[in-house]
Amino acid sequence: MIGGIKENFPSGLVVFLVALPLCLGIALASGAPPLSGIIAGIVGGLVVGFISSSNVSVSGPAAGLTAIVLTAITDLGAFELFLCAGIIAGLIQLILGFVRAGSISNYFPNNVIEGMLAGIGIIIILKQIPHALGFDQDFEGNESLFANGFNPNYFTELFGGIHVGAIIITLVSVGILLAWEKVPVLKKIKMLPGALVAVTAGILLNYLFKISGSSLYIGSEHLVNLPVPESFSDIGNLIILPDFSGFLNPKVWIVGGTIAIVASIETLLCIEATDRLDVRRRITDTNLELKAQGIGNLISSVIGGLPMTSVVVRSSANANAGATSKLSAMIHGAMLLVCVLSIPFILNLIPLATLAAVLILVGYKLAKPTTVKHFWNKGKYQFIPFIATILAVVFLDLLKGVGIGLLISVFYILQGNMKRAYYLSREELDDADEITIKLAEEVSFLNKAALKKTLKNIKPGSTVIFDARSTSYIAGDVLDLIQDFANIRAKEEEIDVKLLGFKTSYRDYDEDEHSHILVTHRRAM
């Protein structure tokens, strides 16, 4: 059920403010027309947002695809031919959805997903610091910290390009955003989000700098830069349509297949991450998500837009802003459409410093020190893949980072359970009022997929018995899943949860570190 506008308008507005410069910046970094990024954002919000079952995820042009898109456009020689590759990618994603390839996301362990989020958070902060200081020479939306190699003169250029006016606007914006989070009276004003107040304050401050003739005034190079059509015919001229002769070009098919694979993996990773950001821990249908992404990429490419994925930065901003349903993503798409058509000249007054303030706080929430401490306390078999994922995401890229974290996790699992069998016994769920889930002697994150599928199909009002009397080890991922089910969903759906044989802590493969303490819930009889 789609939540109300009152609850989701503030989060939709925040995502719109975050998405606007990202859509433009990713198009610029990809060597594509500026409007193509906006088109992808609109389709990602309205079309994918409507079809998807995710309540938190937001789709749009993805920074992770910029290198592929830039290389493909250069190689193919025309953006019109590249759009055919986007159509092919959408068709392949539709097929992947129908063959149920979305279940692969269940096999990513939580510490790797959390490491990916923390890594993205660090990158967001580091990439936004220049904008916060008034040094705007990097493409907005590039999520790879060292994409073009490390520039040894970077810090000299950064501090040499500081703009005091931008710093003042950043500090004022951060102050407003923190006040809206911390002051109880302001927190209750749901229809007036702190991000909107911060953006308005940024515009007004810069206007005061201008009319006073102050050197603090920041020019257009430090502001949002959106194409401004003079008439409806100008809008039509800005939209580029595909050259369908590209379907006869083998290179176009190779590019389409590459985009489909990378975009699908990034989407599944983001969905797994955003499900953890959802305060109600609702589970997204990943196969439907692949179908939604396929339809979105088809439509976006047909009308001149970039390929898209579910994206971490916008999804995180959405969750942190309090989104309760997918209506928030649809509102962000509608606002992109309306504002780009009607008031682009006002949007071009927004300082990048204000948007940097919004994103820096989003990045901090993703990479909070308490998250690092949490995995440190779980033991080295949880912490090492977590921290390795963070470092690889920051210094390499998202997919390589997750791949490295996953390999380390699998190595530790295989090392500890080389000869152990995994099983999860359960009764049929269709007509059962009481379900017994018997856990194996060793339960790793590889068992999470089967358990998640079982829990998803349990009916309200049922009795669920988790039998861990023969279990010597349970991975933190599975304990988290059981805990979320017992403490959140069981309360909402009056499910009676009984836990047998659970210990207060589990050791990581004969190590001294403890992994997790389970908090249980039982419905009052």
Encoding tokens for residue 45?
């919000």
**From CA 114, how far away is CA 303, in angstroms rounded?**
36
CA angle 291/329/276 to nearest 5° reads: 75
Question: Given the structure tokens 């606002």, which residue do they identify?
Answer: 335
What does pTM read for this prediction? 0.70
Beta bridge partners of 17: none
H or E segment and range at residue 459: none
More confident residue, 426 or 72: 72
44 Cβ neighbours under 8 A, 6+ residues apart: 58, 59, 60, 61, 296, 300, 308, 329, 333
Task: Give the model's pLDDT for residue 81.
Answer: 94
**From CA 56, how far away is CA 443, in angstroms rounded?**
29
Encoding tokens for residue 18?
């975050």
CA angle 516/519/525 to nearest 5° reads: 155
Closest of 233, 158, 228, 168 to residue 202, by C-alpha: 168
H or E segment and range at residue 438: strand 434-439
Secondary structure E strands in 32-90: 59-61
Evaluate if residue 509 carries a pLDDT over 50.
no
Evaluate if residue 418 carries a pLDDT over 50.
no
Instruction: Encode pLDDT of 101-159 as tens digits.
Output: 888 877 788 888 888 888 888 888 888 888 888 876 655 555 555 555 555 565 666 66
More confident residue, 91 or 277: 91
Evaluate if residue 294 carries a pLDDT over 80.
yes
Closest of 102, 115, 55 to residue 277, by C-alpha: 55
Across the range 389-416, mean pLDDT stands at 83
Topology at the third CATH level for domain 424-500: Transcription Regulator spoIIAA (3.30.750)
Encoding tokens for residue 486?
């017992």
The mean-pLDDT minimum among 143-152, 236-245, 246-255, 472-481 falls in: 143-152
Secondary structure E strands in 255-358: 308-310
Give me the percent of the chain exceeding a pLDDT of 70.
85
379 Cβ neighbours under 8 A, 6+ residues apart: 507, 508, 511, 513, 514, 515
The mean-pLDDT minimum among 34-38, 140-144, 302-306, 346-350 falls in: 140-144
- The pLDDT confidence band at residue 391, using thresholds 50, 70 and 90, is very high
Give me the percent of the chain exceeding a pLDDT of 90.
27
Question: Given the structure tokens 């059509």, which residue do they identify?
Answer: 229
Secondary structure E strands in 276-316: 308-310
**From CA 20, how far away is CA 60, in angstroms rounded?**
10
Q: What is the mean pLDDT of the chain?
A: 82
Evaluate if residue 449 carries a pLDDT over 60.
yes
Give backbone dihedrals phi and psi of 230, rounded to 5 degrees, phi first. -85, -25
**276, 212 in Cβ contact below 8 A?**
no
Closest of 169, 147, 168, 167 to residue 158, by C-alpha: 167
Task: Give the model's pLDDT for residue 137.
Answer: 64
Closest of 63, 58, 53, 50 to residue 307, by C-alpha: 63
**From CA 447, how far away is CA 525, in angstroms rounded?**
31
More confident residue, 235 or 88: 88
More confident residue, 235 or 483: 483
Closest of 142, 153, 112, 208 to residue 409, by C-alpha: 112
Closest of 290, 287, 292, 272 to residue 100, by C-alpha: 287
Evaluate if residue 507 carries a pLDDT over 70.
no
**From CA 18, how far away is CA 391, in angstroms rounded?**
25
**From CA 410, how far away is CA 361, in angstroms rounded?**
33
The length of the chain in residues reads: 525
**From CA 64, how far away is CA 439, in angstroms rounded?**
38
Encoding tokens for residue 484?
């979320």
Across the range 34-58, mean pLDDT stands at 93
Evaluate if residue 3 carries a pLDDT over 60.
no
Please, where in the chain does CATH 3.30.750.24 lie? Answer: 424-500
Task: Give the model's pLDDT for residue 302.
Answer: 95
Evaluate if residue 19 carries a pLDDT over 90.
no
- The pLDDT confidence band at residue 79, using thresholds 50, 70 and 90, is very high
**From CA 140, how far away is CA 23, in angstroms rounded?**
9
193 Cβ neighbours under 8 A, 6+ residues apart: 10, 11, 13, 14, 180, 321
Using DSSP bridges, classify how beta strands 59-61 and 442-443 pair: parallel, antiparallel or unpaired: unpaired
**From CA 81, how far away is CA 83, in angstroms rounded?**
5
**From CA 416, how far away is CA 245, in angstroms rounded?**
55
Taking each helix axis from N to C terminus, what angle separates 312-320 and 352-366, rounded to the nearest 10 degrees? 80
Task: Give the model's pLDDT for residue 523.
Answer: 44
Closest of 383, 239, 294 to residue 44, by C-alpha: 294
- The pLDDT confidence band at residue 422, using thresholds 50, 70 and 90, is very low
174 Cβ neighbours under 8 A, 6+ residues apart: 357, 360, 361
How buried is 220 (Cβ within 10 angstroms: 0-12 exposed, 13-18 middle, 19+ buried)? exposed
Task: Give the model's pLDDT for residue 196.
Answer: 82
